[in-house]
Amino acid sequence: MSPAAASPEVKGNLKPRPPPSQSPATSSSSSKRSSEMGATKARQSAGFVTRIKDFLFINLVPLGTSPAQIPSNLFQLVVFHIYHTALIFLHIILSFYYLFARQYHRAKNNFLAFLYHHHRTPQLIAQDIKGLAKTPQHVGIILNYKENEEGGGIEGLMEQVADVVSWSIGACVKTLTVYERTGKLNKLHEATYKVINRTLKSYYGETIPVVKLSTPHDKTVYPEEMATDPDINIAFISQQDGREFLVELTREFAYKAAKGEFEPSKLTVDNVDRLANQLVITEPELIVLFGPKLDLDGFPPWQIRLSEIYYAPYNNSVTYNVMLRGIRRYSKCKINVGR
Amino acid sequence: MAITSWIRTFPLVQYFIAWTQEIFMSVLKTGPVPQHVAFVMDGNRRFARRRKLEVREGHSAGFESLAHILEMCYQVGIKVVTVYAFSIENFKRPTVEVDALMEIARTKLLQIIHHGDLADRFGISIRVLGQRSMIPPDVLAAIDKSTEMTKRNTTAILNICFPYTSRDDIATSMREIVTKSEKHELEPETIDERLLEQHMFTKDCPPLDILVRTSGVERLSDFMLWQSHQNCTVEFVNCLWPEFEPWRFGSILLKWSRSKAVEFRKMEMERDQKQL
């Protein structure tokens, strides 16, 4: 308000101004050329030193090192690199271990595939699961879409689903949830249905089990009208049924609450659970991963509370023996909520 | 087992083990280090049963194991450690055991903050995540005391989930947001994943990098569901929690460090290709 209060502001504004207004004048004058040459030399040598410093302390420090660990002086730098070399050495040893472990697990998978094969006969599958203490009613599987590979693409995904459906019916599974992160199969019910029925024919002959496909997110069902109850329900879900579903649910209730139509205290675990079961899927008892490592890949978080998670290390294909081993693991597990 | 414990009685062996661990951790430190690690400390009771001890002693052995792991986290520079101490479902256990667990929680909390012990040594600030309303008053007093006394420590955070379930965490977060919307404190359009995360118990923590569950159970059991279902390494370890020895945790850290280093190398190569 008063000039005294305004003056520091003006000063602050003025201070940085002079250098740019002066610099063009000095650089344009030819009289200072010789001194300029010296300055550039100095600048170059300084650049050389800083470049070496940058190289030593920035470029040589690997990406992903936490900021607190980046060395600040030469001694620390030497120690850092001695330790880091040791770390790289350990990583290499681990890589060799992985190499052997992969061979071992591949051999094991092949042997088990030879030992347990469905031979496209449901009786054999029934025999494999006979005598298990319990079998899952609801199984979730996580599939990975592979683009440029043999057995990949959309057709490959459909074939995989059809195979798993055939095995699941043999293992008395009532509900199968197929998770594929990007939701490639969500809108392809008709084509998938055809592939499933073709595969089922090769297992069951002429009278094939009845299947029903659904995509909870789009609220679509195929076939829309059925004469009998289906032998198996197949739900296709993707990443948008996970966190996004919970976010949308919150948003919906927030709109209602803003209008005064909803009491926030009604938003309990039980109520959210009921909605998640109705609008997406119920909780699978077993989730089988067909990937090489344990990666849930964004499977709906709400529904994996007590699900037994099974994966075969280093396996990279959708095979019967992985599914069977998953079901066997499930039959042995003991779930006691809280106890 | 017997041989290793016999070897450990030799002089200097303990010292040598501690020294090796320290060197190993300094080596790990020079690579990528996880920021947030969570543990389901499963198997204390089975451990007690196997060794014909009392349940209480099993839980005490579990606490010793936790102290070791915290030491390692401190050495390698992990910022946040979250442990599953007590589930809301655990209230279903026999009252005697619930009372015993509460008593252990109270004494151990006071022990952690005891001068010169764990919290001070590793600069840990303690937080208790979960439904406070379900905690008995004497335990609640111990919790408040420990959080108050350690809140100036900044090296690391120890989150004790007590009594906690992940579904409760998610539902509570949703409820808080809807309540705010009811009071017109926020616009419903602005609700997204980040906002939900900001209302969860783990709001101030970096994203979860590793989740370890011991005792060979391959389930999440309502722990960190939201945090672990993507971009997180889940490890199911086939040993009981009191037997979860430093080398097991060390190997998990090394595996994680390698996979991250490989990821970074790929990123670097892609960047170089773009520059070319």
Interface test with B, best of A76, A237, A250 (most B CBs within 10 A): A250
Asked if B233 contacts B211 with a C-beta cutoff of 8 angstroms, the reply is yes
Asked if A338 contacts B87 with a C-beta cutoff of 8 angstroms, the reply is yes
Nearest to B172 by CA among B105, B211, B208, B226: B226
Residue with tokens 């029934």: A126
With an 8 Å Cβ cutoff, is B156 touching chain A? no
Angstroms from A81 CA to nearest CA on chain B? 8
Interchain contact, B77 vs A296, CB within 8 Å: no
Higher pLDDT, B163 or A338: B163
Query: Could you please report the per-residue DSSP string of A230-281?
Result: -SEEEEEE-GGGTHHHHHHHHHHHHHHHHTT---GGG--HHHHHHHHHHHT-
Angstroms from A325 CA to nearest CA on chain B? 14
Q: How far apart are CA A59 and CA B223, in angstroms?
A: 40
Q: What was the pLDDT predicted at B102?
A: 87
Please name the helix (run of DSSP H) or strand (run of DSSP E) that holds residue A201, with its range, or none: helix A189-204
Asked if A234 contacts A178 with a C-beta cutoff of 8 angstroms, the reply is yes
Partners of residue B235 in chain A, C-beta under 8 Å:
294
The verdict on domain A119-242+280-332 having CATH code 3.40.1180.10 is: yes
Please name the helix (run of DSSP H) or strand (run of DSSP E) that holds residue B37, with its range, or none: strand B36-40
Phi, psi torsion values for A175, nearest 5 degrees? -130, 135
Q: How far apart are CA A21 and CA B198, in angstroms?
A: 48
Both tokens of A241, joined, read 């049924």
Name the burial class of residue A259, with classes exposed (0-12), middle (13-18) and buried (19+) by CB atoms within 10 angstroms of its CB: exposed
Q: How far apart are CA B210 and CA B212, in angstroms?
A: 6
Condensed to tens digits (0 to 9), the pLDDT of residues B1-38 reads: 567 778 777 878 888 989 999 999 999 999 899 999 99
Higher pLDDT, B184 or B276: B184
CA–chain centroid gap for A221, Å, is: 26
Both tokens of B176, joined, read 């808080």
Q: How confident is the model at residue B271 (pLDDT cuts 50, 70, 90)?
A: confident
Q: List the CATH code of the domain at B33-164+206-243.
A: 3.40.1180.10
Partners of residue B36 in chain A, C-beta under 8 Å:
none
pLDDT, mean of residues B105-124: 80
> Which ipTM was obtained for this model?
0.90
Q: How far apart are CA A8 and CA A38, in angstroms?
A: 38
Asked if B21 contacts B246 with a C-beta cutoff of 8 angstroms, the reply is yes
Interchain contact, B170 vs A272, CB within 8 Å: yes
- Indicate if the alpha-carbon torsion angle B163, B168, B169, B173 is positive or negative: negative
Where do the structural domains in chain B lie, given as residue ranges?
A: 33-164+206-243, 166-200
Nearest to B43 by CA among B248, B244, B243, B241: B241
Instruction: Spell A51-81 as b/e; 16+ CB within 10 A means b.
Output: eeeeeebeeebbebbeeebebeeeeebeebe
Interchain contact, B188 vs A258, CB within 8 Å: yes
Both tokens of A314, joined, read 């280093």
Interchain contact, A250 vs B174, CB within 8 Å: yes
CA–chain centroid gap for B226, Å, is: 15
Angstroms from A280 CA to nearest CA on chain B? 16
Where do the structural domains in chain A lie, given as residue ranges?
A: 51-115, 119-242+280-332
State the CB neighbour count (10 A cutoff) for residue A316.
16
pTM above 0.90, yes or no: no
Closest chain A residue to the Cα of B93, Cα to Cα: A339
Please name the helix (run of DSSP H) or strand (run of DSSP E) that holds residue B162, with its range, or none: none
Angstroms from B272 CA to nearest CA on chain A? 13
Interchain contact, B261 vs A91, CB within 8 Å: yes
Condensed to tens digits (0 to 9), the pLDDT of residues A11-50 reads: 333 333 333 333 333 334 444 444 555 555 555 666 788 8
Condensed to tens digits (0 to 9), the pLDDT of residues A225-284 reads: 888 889 999 999 999 999 999 999 999 999 999 998 999 999 999 999 999 999 999 999
Please name the helix (run of DSSP H) or strand (run of DSSP E) that holds residue A176, with its range, or none: strand A175-180
Angstroms from A238 CA to nearest CA on chain B? 13
Please name the helix (run of DSSP H) or strand (run of DSSP E) that holds residue A41, with its range, or none: helix A33-54
Q: In what order do the strands lie in the sheet with B210-213?
A: B124-129, B156-161, B80-84, B36-40, B210-213, B233-236
Name the burial class of residue A313, with classes exposed (0-12), middle (13-18) and buried (19+) by CB atoms within 10 angstroms of its CB: middle
Nearest to A136 by CA among A165, A172, A161: A172
Angstroms from A308 CA to nearest CA on chain B? 5
Condensed to tens digits (0 to 9), the pLDDT of residues B223-249 reads: 999 999 999 999 999 999 999 989 999
Q: How confident is the model at residue B116 (pLDDT cuts 50, 70, 90)?
A: low
Asked if B215 contacts B42 with a C-beta cutoff of 8 angstroms, the reply is yes
Closest chain B residue to the Cα of A268, Cα to Cα: B171
Partners of residue B221 in chain A, C-beta under 8 Å:
305-306
Condensed to tens digits (0 to 9), the pLDDT of residues B61-100 reads: 888 899 889 999 999 999 999 999 888 988 888 888 888 8
Quote the mean pLDDT of chain B. 89
Coil/strand/helix, residue A138: strand
Partners of residue A94 in chain B, C-beta under 8 Å:
254-255, 258
Overall size of chain B counted in residues: 276
Partners of residue A267 in chain B, C-beta under 8 Å:
171, 174-175, 178
Both tokens of A299, joined, read 């499977």
Closest chain B residue to the Cα of A77, Cα to Cα: B30
Interface test with A, best of B174, B183, B197, B224 (most A CBs within 10 A): B174
Query: Across the A/B interface, how many CB contacts are shorter than 8 Å?
Result: 176
Closest chain A residue to the Cα of B155, Cα to Cα: A68
Partners of residue B184 in chain A, C-beta under 8 Å:
258
Q: How far apart are CA B11 and CA A97, in angstroms?
A: 33
Closest chain A residue to the Cα of B192, Cα to Cα: A247
Both tokens of A184, joined, read 């490639």
Q: How far apart are CA A319 and CA B213, in angstroms?
A: 27
Q: How far apart are CA A51 and CA A70, in angstroms?
A: 17
With an 8 Å Cβ cutoff, is B254 touching chain A? yes
Q: Which residues of chain A have pLDDT under 70?
A: 1-46, 336-339
Asked if A232 contacts A167 with a C-beta cutoff of 8 angstroms, the reply is no
Partners of residue A304 in chain B, C-beta under 8 Å:
220, 225, 229
- Indicate if the alpha-carbon torsion angle B172, B173, B174, B177 is positive or negative: positive
Angstroms from A289 CA to nearest CA on chain B? 12
What percent of the residues of chain B are helix, what percent strand, and what percent coil, each to the nearest 5? Answer: 60, 10, 30
Q: What was the pLDDT predicted at A337?
A: 63
Cis upstream peptide for A223 (omega within 30°): yes
